[in-house]
Amino acid sequence: MSNKIGLSLPKQEAANKSSFDISARHLEKWINDLPGANIGETSKQLYTLLKQTNQVTYPYQKRIAFLELLRAPIAHVTHSMKKHFISINLPLPDKNQKIANITKKLYFYMATGYKIALEDALSKKSFFDKPPFALLIQRSMSYMGKIFLPRTSLTHNFLTSTGVSYTNCFRFLKKSAFFIQELLISNVFTAKKHR
Domain ranges within the chain, ordered by starting residue: 13-193
pLDDT score, position 121: 86
Dist. CA 181–CA 44, nearest whole Å? 38
Count how many Cα atoms sit within 13 Å of the Cα of residue 35 in the half-sphere of its side chain: 8
Dist. CA 195–CA 186, nearest whole Å? 15
Kindly report the pTM of this predicted structure: 0.77
Dist. CA 123–CA 113, nearest whole Å? 16
pLDDT digits (tens, 9 = 90+) for 105-126: 999 999 999 999 988 888 876 6
* Bridge partners for 56 per DSSP: 13
* Bridge partners for 33 per DSSP: none
SS3 category, 59: coil
| Cα torsion angle, 111, 115, 116, 121, sign | positive
Task: Give the least confident one: 52-56, 149-153, 168-172, 188-192.
Answer: 188-192
pLDDT digits (tens, 9 = 90+) for 21-44: 999 999 999 999 999 899 999 999
